[in-house]
Structure 1
Amino acid sequence: MSDSAAKRLLTGLAWDDYCETVRRAGHMVEDFGAEANDLDRAEWYRFMTRLMRNGFERFVENCEPERPRLRDAPWRQGINFQSPDQDHLLAEFVDGRHDYRVTGNRGTLPYFVMASWVAKQPTNIGERDWADQGVSGLRDFDPATLKTTGFLQSDAIDFDSDGNFEVILSQQKPAGGENWLAITPDCVGVLVRAVYHNRAETIAPTMRIERLDGTGPRPIRSAEMADGLAKAGQLVLAYAELVRSWWQDNLSKRPNRIRFSRAVYLSNGGVPDRHHGFGTWEVAADEALVIQFIPTPCDYWIFQLCNMWQENLDCYEDGQGYISKYRAAYEEDGAVRLIIAAEDPGIGGNWIPTFGHVHGGMSLRLIKTEGEPPPVTLLRVPLEVLKRDKLNCLSATEAIISGEIAE
């Protein structure tokens, strides 16, 4: 372990650098000017506190080399359009030099996928100050831009008759034919995405991870804590910059459109078992957005309405703010009609309340899809006209056609 990293921690320099990194990240909301209203700004500062909690849980509490754990993402942490119908079990690694075993039982979960990933992470992070570099430091050290290097779908795992399973995580494929997820020397962790069709009626899976060399726990070392503070601080900065760049440099340039971009999705730890389209939405308090599409045949799909910071709206815990395959109302031809508005106009379909927002991000995710994602039609109409004339007014409204595939 690094003596200089330990010294930085023990003299308080590592802590000061963390605090300064977070302070600067918090002020990035000023880059949005008047575009971010009072509600957006209140949610931004809450977003910052959630990222701080996320960083500490991942890189301080859950990054012990000798005691790996699979832990669910922190409560209410909705990074990058996180689905309410997915659990995200994370195990953080310092690197990929060790071999691991994941054991568990799938319960009655219909599908999950395990993925290993890498990130830009120098070996001497605890020895250096990062705050003064700002976002330019993300070129060398970026815990948010993750690249999936290996993935294993539950369809390819051997289960016993009770749903029990084992998966080996290693650089070399086991000789005995065991279920295997490949990791690389620079692997920084593994993520299990557990996909629920109907959470209330599903027995949740149980999973644990262990190192195959049987090493037991030990006390924390000063240099490790310096590394953990650097990772936790840089995570806050990285996600602040990510939501800024996605909004200002990309998505907001095409309001009320969804685009399916493989590169954008895979740039943040995505796995190639799905199509995931992103966009921004905007609607005044006296307007409504009507979105229509016919889902491509798939195991599961979900449409989410989010705030500017890619978080689910606060009403998602009440089952609002999103519509999924297994609880949507369908039209006779199999189409899905979504109505995004401050109040229900009473035209049927699937109403999604804006919950005090006038803009934000939106996403359409289709998992285990048969074919390409569907075209998405959006119409922006006055709310009173929609309430009065019902669906008749849509034929006189110019439609926005999106859902294109960028790559």
Structure 2
Amino acid sequence: MSQPDEKHQQALVKKVISGESWNEFCDLLKAAGQFVIDNSVEDELERSEGFRYLARLLASSLQDSVEPPSLTPPTIQYRTTRIGADNPDFVYASVPIRGNLTYRITGCLNDCYQFNVGAFHGRLGTAEGLQSTGFLNQHDLQVDDRGHFTVIASNQAPQRDEGQWLPLCEASNSLIIRQTLLDPSNEAKADLSIDIIGGELDSLDQPMSAKRLDNMLGRPALMVHGIAQQFLGWTNDFMQRKNQITEIKPELLGMAKGDPHCQYNYGYFELEENQALRVVLHPPKCDYWNIQLANHWLESFDSRSIMSSINMRSAVKEKDGSVVIMVSANDPGHENWLSTQFHQRGVIALRWLAAAEKQTDPLTELITLS
């Protein structure tokens, strides 16, 4: 160990033993809490959800940092954390990986309407954000008559008969999988498995150390603060155009890396109890579309009992093919009602997947209910 490295190691040991690492962890969380206060109104529901949002982010990031999932064998983690107006029609999953290894992903689509998998490096909430090295959607996948497919994720292209290639780089640290179910309560998600078929993984059995603990605490705290700050930047931008829905700015979407074939549109509703927002959609020919509501913190609403999300299958169309959506707290007696679920204000998300042309902003109208 060089002299500078030795001094750095000694400083880390002192930092942990003195409690400075723990204090930094707590200070970052305290700063995130202040960020919630500074970016919300003095409302019981909004503030309570804001601090719950931080707790959810912390629980997820601490789990990954302190008790990380297995790299051997690879572990498919189905995510329930609500971030960035997560889509209720989606089943989100991630797989921690190492970019120097070769992986074989096999699956059967079952009732899955859309499926995509991407290889990424970087992390949400960091200056780098998520960066993609490869992406496959259902049109890219080579699927047999039974719905089965094989994908090889690796640095080097595989032999043609081994499977379809998903490129990795040395810095790749995760695979992110999104599945679309048009009726999530009654449909089966894809069956998936993943194996390491090439490369060597260094031993992960290491004793606890000052460096490991400092990373275990520092990274989750930074991620909580960073993710909250990143997506509140989205909310604050949407709030500039209340009760309108417009395409998201590229600089906002760039750090989150959604589906590259999807047009993302967002709005911010603010309604009195006797008001509704009327939204008129003209769905184009496309692979998929949906519209949904989320709270101020961009957490999707729970749609198990009350409808706060409508997709291309569930929407009731007008005779001319248009779709009229009513956003309100109380049921206006409309087929396409999206309930605000006790929220006076929040976010609207609209997605058009693989439309042939860019879609114009939908017409919105604030109306008073009788």
TM-score by length of 2: 0.87
Which runs of structure 2 are paired with 1:73-112 in the superposition (5 Å)? 73-74=79-80, 77-93=81-97, 96-112=99-115
Distance 1:162 1:13, change over 3 A: farther
CA distance in 2, matches of 1:279, 1:371: 21
8 Å CA contact 1:287, 1:382 repeated in 2: yes
Gaps of 5+ in 2: none
Deviations 1:44-88 (A, max 9, x none): 0110111012212334444554443121113xx210010111011
Q: 1:98 to 1:230 in 2, by over 3 A?
A: farther
Q: Which range moved further: 315-324 or 13-22?
A: 13-22
Task: Report the aligned-residue RMSD.
Answer: 2.7
Query: What is the aligned partner in structure 2 of residue 151 from structure 1?
Result: 135
Alpha-carbon distance in 2 for matches of 1:120, 1:58? 12
CA distance in 1, matches of 2:67, 2:145: 35
The equivalent residue for 1:199 is: 184
Quote the sequence identity (%).
Answer: 24
Gaps of 5+ in 1: 122-137, 385-407
SS at match of 2:317: coil
1:171 aligns with 2:158: no
TM-score where L is the length of structure 1: 0.79
Partner-residue secondary structure (3-state), 2:366? strand
Report if aligned partners of 1:342, 1:354 keep a CA contact under 8 Å in 2. Answer: yes
Q: Deviations over 1:77-106 (max 9, x none)?
A: 21001011101111134x523222222222
Match of 1:274 among 234, 255, 262: 262
Say whether 1:31 aligns with 2:30: no
1:260 correspondence with 2:264? no
Query: Match for 1:196: what amino acid?
Result: L
Residue aligned with 1:197, SS: coil
Contact persistence 1:62–1:91 (CA under 8 A): no
CA gap of 1:13–1:63, structure 2 versus 1, over 3 A, is: farther
Aligned with 1:330 (options 298, 317, 322): 317
CA shift for structure 1 position 237: 0.5
Letter of the structure 2 residue corresponding to residue 194 of structure 1: Q
- CA shift at 1:321, angstroms? 1.2
Is 1:17 matched with 2:24?
yes
Q: How does 1:201-220 map to 2 (within 5 A)?
A: 201-212=186-197, 213=199, 215=201, 218-219=204-205
The answer (yes or no) to whether the contact 1:295–1:374 under 8 Å persists in 2 is: no
Residue range with higher mean Cα deviation, 17-26 or 293-302? 17-26
- Match for 1:355 among 328, 341, 344? 341
SS at structure 2 position matched to 1:114: strand
**Structure 1 residues 328 and 221, CA gap change in structure 2 (3 angstroms):** farther
Distance 1:345 1:119, change over 3 A: same
Aligned residue in 1 for 2:50: 44
C-alpha distance in 1 between matches for 2:299 and 2:361: 24
Do 1:148 and 1:266's aligned partners in 2 also have CA atoms closer than 8 Å? no
Paired residue secondary structure (1:290): strand
Counterpart-to-counterpart distance in 1, 2:367 and 2:69 = 50
> In structure 2, the residue corresponding to 1:356 is in which secondary structure?
coil
